[in-house]
Each structure stands twice: as C-alpha cells, then as structure tokens.
Structure 1
Amino acid sequence: MPRLLVIAAIAASYFAFAILLNSVGTVILQSINTFDISKPEAATLEGYKDLTIAFVSFLVASFVPRLGYKVAMLAALLLVTAACLITPVVSEFVAIKALFACIGAGFALIKVSVYAMVGLLSSDTRSHSSLLNTIEGIFMVGVLSGYWIFSAFVDPLNPGSPVWMNVYYWLAALLAINVLLVCVAPVPSADEKVREQSAIAAFTGMLKLAYQPLVIIFVVSIFLYVLIEQGIGSWLPTFNNEVLHLPVDISVQITSLFALSIAVGRLAAGQVLRFINWFPFLLGCAVLMGGLIIITLPMAEGHQATGITQLSDAPLAAFILPMIGLLMAPLYPILNSVMLSALDSHKQAAMTGLIVVFSALGGTTGSVITGYLFEHMGGQHAFYMQLVPVVGIIAAIFLFRQVSQKDQTASAV
C-alpha cells in the first residue's frame, strides 16, 4: 500500500505537469488572439518553459537528493499552483511568460525526483521499465486531456476573450490535490552515495561526457528531433486556425490527434522492435516523416472553411498532418535507449542531464524558428521548412550507427 501511494503521487504530479507543459501550443494561439501580439513574440513562451527546464535541471539536479524528493516535489507543485492562481488575475501576456517559467522550473524538479524514485521503487530492470513506461503513459494521457480541457474554456464566438484563462483556477485545484497526495505519501529518500556526491563532480562528469564523438552525434539528433516535435506541436493549433481556417476550439481539439499518434506510435514501436533492428526502423520512420509533410501540405492550399462547427466537418489535411506523430514517436526513446545502453551505469546520470538540456534547447529553437517563419512566410512554408531538420536527423542516424559500431568494436578489442 505505501508503494502504491507513492506511485499515485508521482503519477498524478506527472499528469498535471503534462497538461501544463503541452498547453503551450494552445496558449500561443490564444495569446495571439487575446493580447494582439506577434507570432515570434508568442513563440517566446516555448523559451520561458524549455530554457528554464534546462537551466534548473543543470543547476539543481545534484542538490535534489540532498534536499529530499518530497521537498522538491512540494516546492514544484506549490510554485506552479501559486502561478496558476495569479495568471488569470493579472490577465496580461507577461503573466503567461512568468507562468511558463514557473512550469519549467517545477517540471525540472518533478522530473529529476520522479526518475530517481522510479529506481528506488523498482527491484529489478523489468519492474523499472514497467513502472517508468506506466508513468510516461500517464503523462501522454495528461497531454491528450490538456487539449480538451483548454478547448472547453475557449469561447468559439469570441476567441479573443480572456475567459479561457479561467482554466488555470481548475488546474490550480488539481495541483492542490497533488500537494495533499505528496504530503501523505511515504516518499523515499536517496541512497547515501547519491546524497554525498558533490555538485562539482556531477557537473564535471557531464562536461567530460559531452566531448565524446558518439555523444555529440546523439545530442545533435535529440536536438533536431525535439526541434521538429515542438515546432509542429506548438504551432499546429495556429496552423489549423489560420491555414485551414478552423474555429479556435476545433483547432485545439484536433491537435490532440498529434499527441495521440505519438502515444500510439511509441507503444507500437516497442512491439515492432522485438523483430527488427533499430537502424532500418528509425531510418524508415524519418524518411516517411518527410514524405508525409510533402504529401499533406499541398492538400491544405486554398482551403476555405464553410460552416465548420464540429470535428467531422474538418478537411482531410487536418486529420492527416497530426499523424506525423506516429512516425516521429519511436525516434526519441530508441535513440535514448541505444545511447544509454552503450554507457556504463555510473555515466547514465550525466547523460540524462545532457538529454534534458539539449531537448529543452531543441524545443525552444523549434518553436521560435517556426513562429518567425509563420509570421513572415506563412504557415505552409513554416511547416515545409521542417524538412530541413528531418534531413539532418536522417544524416545523424547514419552517423550514430557508424560511430556506435566503431565504439563497440574498439571496446571488444
């Protein structure tokens, strides 16, 4: 029972942060409508979220075990609860920026704590994988739920109305429940060795790791992947609204297909990889990603909305484009798995830190670049430009395989 209570606490916290983190695409669209700001300015929300995640993860990861996982989680939840209560009261874009900075800082503390506690709650590799996949699955349920929760507060007759910000009162209530759950849960403490590791040792270990050729290729591929994922995910609601001319509420709802396709793609990939090697599978996914973009975007040209009032009225392109998530989904976890399994266990913590940092940087870069292109070249051209990082990923997959094989051969000798 105590173990189940701890799992419930960390899963519920992950669920709440999934809603908040992945609301950025919806909030970008609503901020443009409500606060009359430019698309590049709206795209900075991704930076407030992701750069804060990178900075806080890099800065405090080594201190969290000594601080205590329960204290770290409570600090994260209370910080974001307060930000959610303040944001609709201020009702200005600066409050939205501050909110996403708080969300980023809170998620960094939550993720470090959750990943550490999964290890403490697991007796072997199989139970560790099972528990982590369950928690990540709950995270995806939170992502899917977020699109529908936010769309329920959008006024389709007056998209610019700030009434949508009332959603944060409900989210604050959800976070408050999580605070109570974490308070009563018997959250475990870190091992003595982990608590005694100095921040300087963790920092220097990460820097030494980053100089290896295999790691450099890996972090570049991770950077490019997240650049595409956030570039599409953050701007898909705006694409649906401005290019396909769908109502705001339907634009947000249909974007949930992107998150759903990623969830389904990752579950399916886990089964497929039991029978085929990771290299041809990832290469095929990356090539098909480019093909889907090339095929789908021309279908959106010249589309005019005529009486679209429900999801079933949306054009075919609105349903096909989010399916790119099926092809993207396996790239991130498989690359992480191949990289981490190639390292000694004592180096995996430093590698996790690099993954978090470069994922955050890729997310910010993707959103800002897509927002700039959206503003100056239009939505279709902005999405066509996603082909550039797709080609980069294909090249990185080839190099990653070549260098990893060389490293394995050298280790065998």
Structure 2
Amino acid sequence: MLKYGLYKFPKMAAKQPNIALPLKLTFLIFSMVLNCMGIVILQLSEQNITYDKLGFLESFKDIPIAIFSLFAVNFISRFGTKKSLIFALMLVGTCSLFLPFVEVFWFFKLWFAIIGTCFAIGKICVYGIIRNNMTEEKSLAQTMNSVEASFMIGIFTVNTGFGWLISSQFGEYWKFGFMSISLISFFTVYLFSKIKIAEPENKTTRIFPDLSGFGKKTIILFFAVSFFIIFIEQSFNSWLPSFYKDHLKVNSFFALQASSFLALFSYTGRTITSKIIQRFSLSKYFMFCVMMIIFLLIIISGLQFYFSENTKVLLFLFPVIGLFLSPLYPVINSKMIAKIEKNKINTFTSLIVSVSSISSSINSISISILFKNQILTYYSLYILGAVIMVSVLAYSYFKLSSDRI
C-alpha cells in the first residue's frame, strides 16, 4: 500500500499517484459551498430577511439532495464516475461565478438547489472510489477520516476568508468571495481530466436504486444514528455564527472567526482519528467521543443558565466540541460501509446522502424557531437532546452490528 500525504490508497493509487489531490479538493469545494450557509444567513439577516425565511433556505439545498440521491446512482452508472464528478464540479464552478452579480433572494434558493444536486453526485462518487479500494474496516475508517478532514478545512477556509472580506472596507462585495470557489472548481476539473479512474464493473439501467437488503435492523439503526449526527453538526455549521452574534453580542467578523475554530478543532479531531483509529475498537472510540460531547454541553448549559455574566467563555468552549464531534460521522459510516457489498455501495451512499439532507433541513427549520422567538438560552440544551439520542441509538447499533450484509 502506498502513501500520498494524508491519504492511503491501495493498488489503484500505484497507477494514479495524483488521485488524492482532486479527491481532497472535491471535498474542500463541497464543504465551502455547503457550509457557507452560516455566512449567508448572517449577511441576509442584516438585510431584513426574517429568520423563518432563512430557516427554509437550507431546505432548498437539502431537499434536492434527498430527491436526486435516489436517481444519482443511475446517473453515475450511465456517465461514469469521472464524467459525473467533472459535471458536478463544472456546475458548481459556473454557478459560483455568476452568484456575485445577482441581487435577488430567490437566486440563493436556486443556487443552493444546484449545489445540493451536485453534492449528491460528488459524495456518491468519492465514497464509491474509497470503498472499491478499501476492504479492511479500520483501514477504511482511517482513509475516511483522512478524506473527510479536508471537509473541515473547507469550513475553516470559508469562515475565515469571508470573515476577513466582510470586515474589510470591501465588505459590501462579500459575494465576490464565491469566485475563488469557482476557480478551485475549474482547477479540480483540470486535474480530473488528466487522470484515469477505475470505473465499477456493474452497470444499472434502473431508474430507482435497488433497495433490497437495506431493511435490516442494523441498517435502520445506522441511518437513525447518522440522522442525529448530521442534526448536531448542522446546528453548529449553519447557526453557530448567528448564535454568537445574536446571543453573545459579538460582531460578524468575530462570530465567523470563532466559528472557524470549530472547524479547526474538527479537522484536528478527524486527523488524529485517522492516525490512531487502528489502535482502538471503533465502537468504544465512538462512544467515548459521544460522552465527551455530552460532558462539554452540560458545562456549557450550566454556564448559560447559572453564570450568564460569563457567557463569553462559550466562544472558546463550543469549538472544543468539534474535536469529539467530527470523528463520529466517518467512524460510523466506515463501520457500516465495510460490511456493504461493493456492487451496492453507490446505492447505500445515496441513502446516506438522502438521510443527511433530510436531517439538515428539519434541523434548520426547527432551530430557526429558537432564533425567531429569541430563546437562544436553550440552544445548547437543544443540541444536547440530539447527542443523547445518538448515544442511545449508537449503543443499540453497536450491540447488533456483528451481522454482515
């Protein structure tokens, strides 16, 4: 097995030594466009657009993801992994190029819908490449954490970059920051055009994916755990800057920079996990991270309710949660994906993407109610409830996960 940076690829990598870079950039790009939601909410809320409208904005991203994920397997099978990825990246790059020149609110809805559709294609393609070249559970978890770590870098980059732009004398031109995402997208397309990617042998002409074998109790529990993990992540990624600004009364620049530290801790968490995961049981490591999140949220809730005069310390406590939250999704995914047959991996990934998007949409609508009614004291308790659900569901899943699909 050969090593390329943070990534480890088996024999395919020997023929394609540059495959790691475009995969890394693909996750970086989708991370930036998906997680700019917090910036958009923060900026548009200052233009007298209500929180209930902004809460539904995320649905324009998530619903297309959920719907198109069901058809993406057939799309990818028809055109191939490489062409599908290039198509998705070209569409993201082109739309991001035009975004700064459009002033109407409805274009954000259209833009997020296109981004969501492209993400459905991109994630299925990337997960398929990883699964088709990894067989051992812990090696897959190690690779998954390494690849997903670049997703955290995207969150950090978009928050930091836009934070500096918004706070500068050119703050009114903040939307032009999306042009940099466009350039990275076109560069990634160029990299993909120069390499060959092994395509899966199985082809499908089905309109809807074959869902046979996905009704087992372990799989249902897995999707339930994934649902609440995404629920928790989006509570931070999309709404933490607005929480900092509205509840802790910090300016937009500091709100975005403080949120960037959450991404930095999350990147650290996934990088550390990719280095040490071989030494631990996946289930025990997962439950340890969950317990640490619960511990931190209890401290945060106590500070909010009983020491409200010291709530500024929350600016430093919330980011630490990323250290333990970030490994959850890759670890639980890799544990289940290692049990899935290779010819079913694209279908399985499409279901992961669909469930994730539904979770994100429901969370955004419900959390917007907290903001609209100015009851942000319950923000940490709201997240804590979801973490407790993860702990209960994950415990049940790990007790049953010895079955192989």
**TM-score w.r.t. length of structure 1:** 0.84
- Shift of residue 2, structure 1, vs aligned partner: 7.3
Structure 1 letter corresponding to 2:37: V
Partner residue, 2:86: 74
In structure 2, distance between residues paired with 1:280 and 1:380: 32
Structure 1 letter corresponding to 2:264: L
Partner residue, 1:105: 117
Structure 2 letter corresponding to 1:188: I
Given that residues 224 and 392 in structure 1 are in contact (C-alpha distance below 8 angstroms), is that contact kept between their aligned partners in structure 2? Answer: yes
Partner residue, 1:404: 401
Percent of aligned pairs sharing the same letter: 25
- Tell me the alpha carbon deviations over residues 346-393 of structure 1, each in whole angstroms, 9 at most, x when there is no partner: 444432222121112112222221112221242221332112212211
2:36 to 23, 31, 34: 23
- Shift of residue 326, structure 1, vs aligned partner: 1.7
1:163 to 156, 159, 173: 173
- Tell me the alpha carbon deviations over residues 21-61 of structure 1, each in whole angstroms, 9 at most, x when there is no partner: 1111121111111x311222112232222222222222122
Given that residues 209 and 351 in structure 1 are in contact (C-alpha distance below 8 angstroms), is that contact kept between their aligned partners in structure 2? Answer: no
After TM superposition, list the pairs within 5 Å mapping 1:321-360 onto structure 2: 321-360=318-357
In structure 2, distance between residues paired with 1:278 and 1:134: 16
- Shift of residue 394, structure 1, vs aligned partner: 1.6
Given that residues 370 and 383 in structure 1 are in contact (C-alpha distance below 8 angstroms), is that contact kept between their aligned partners in structure 2? Answer: no
Residue 353 (structure 2) pairs with residue 384 (structure 1): no
In structure 2, distance between residues paired with 1:236 and 1:100: 19
Q: Aligned in 2, Cα 1:2/1:15: closer, same or farther, shift over 3 Å?
A: farther
Given that residues 142 and 277 in structure 2 are in contact (C-alpha distance below 8 angstroms), is that contact kept between their aligned partners in structure 1? Answer: no
Partner residue, 1:86: 98
- Shift of residue 241, structure 1, vs aligned partner: 0.8
Given that residues 209 and 215 in structure 1 are in contact (C-alpha distance below 8 angstroms), is that contact kept between their aligned partners in structure 2? Answer: no
Residue 303 (structure 2) pairs with residue 299 (structure 1): yes
Residue 54 (structure 2) pairs with residue 42 (structure 1): yes
In structure 2, distance between residues paired with 1:132 and 1:391: 25
Larger radius of gyration: 1
Residue 18 (structure 2) pairs with residue 9 (structure 1): no
Given that residues 51 and 364 in structure 1 are in contact (C-alpha distance below 8 angstroms), is that contact kept between their aligned partners in structure 2? Answer: yes
1:289 to 273, 288, 293: 293
Using the TM superposition, name which of 290-299 and 224-233 deviates more.
290-299
- Shift of residue 221, structure 1, vs aligned partner: 0.9
- Shift of residue 124, structure 1, vs aligned partner: 7.2
After TM superposition, list the pairs within 5 Å mapping 1:240-251 onto structure 2: 240-251=244-255
- Tell me the alpha carbon deviations over residues 45-81 of structure 1, each in whole angstroms, 9 at most, x when there is no partner: 3222222222222212222132133332232223222
Partner residue, 1:310: none
**TM-score w.r.t. length of structure 2:** 0.85
Given that residues 297 and 317 in structure 1 are in contact (C-alpha distance below 8 angstroms), is that contact kept between their aligned partners in structure 2? Answer: no
In structure 1, distance between residues paired with 2:160 and 2:312: 20
Structure 2 letter corresponding to 1:55: I
Partner residue, 1:147: 159
How many corresponding residue pairs? 390
In structure 1, distance between residues paired with 2:337 and 2:176: 42
- Shift of residue 298, structure 1, vs aligned partner: 4.4
Given that residues 49 and 101 in structure 1 are in contact (C-alpha distance below 8 angstroms), is that contact kept between their aligned partners in structure 2? Answer: yes
Partner residue, 2:187: 177
Q: Aligned in 2, Cα 1:123/1:382: closer, same or farther, shift over 3 Å?
A: closer
Q: Could you say what the CA RMSD is over the residues aligned between the two structures, in angstroms? A: 3.0
- Shift of residue 153, structure 1, vs aligned partner: 1.8
- Shift of residue 248, structure 1, vs aligned partner: 0.3
In structure 2, distance between residues paired with 1:334 and 1:393: 13
* Runs of at least 5 residues in structure 1 that lack an aligned partner in the other structure: 306-313
Using the TM superposition, name which of 337-346 and 380-389 deviates more.
337-346
- Tell me the alpha carbon deviations over residues 318-357 of structure 1, each in whole angstroms, 9 at most, x when there is no partner: 0111211122223222222222334444444432222121
1:198 to 189, 205, 214: 205
Structure 2 letter corresponding to 1:392: M
Using the TM superposition, name which of 336-345 and 87-96 deviates more.
336-345
Q: Aligned in 2, Cα 1:210/1:116: closer, same or farther, shift over 3 Å?
A: closer
Using the TM superposition, name which of 276-285 and 59-68 deviates more.
276-285
Structure 1 letter corresponding to 2:76: V
Q: Aligned in 2, Cα 1:363/1:176: closer, same or farther, shift over 3 Å?
A: same
Structure 2 letter corresponding to 1:155: S
Structure 2 letter corresponding to 1:138: S
- Shift of residue 6, structure 1, vs aligned partner: 4.2
Structure 1 letter corresponding to 2:192: V
* Runs of at least 5 residues in structure 2 that lack an aligned partner in the other structure: 1-13
Given that residues 262 and 321 in structure 2 are in contact (C-alpha distance below 8 angstroms), is that contact kept between their aligned partners in structure 1? Answer: yes
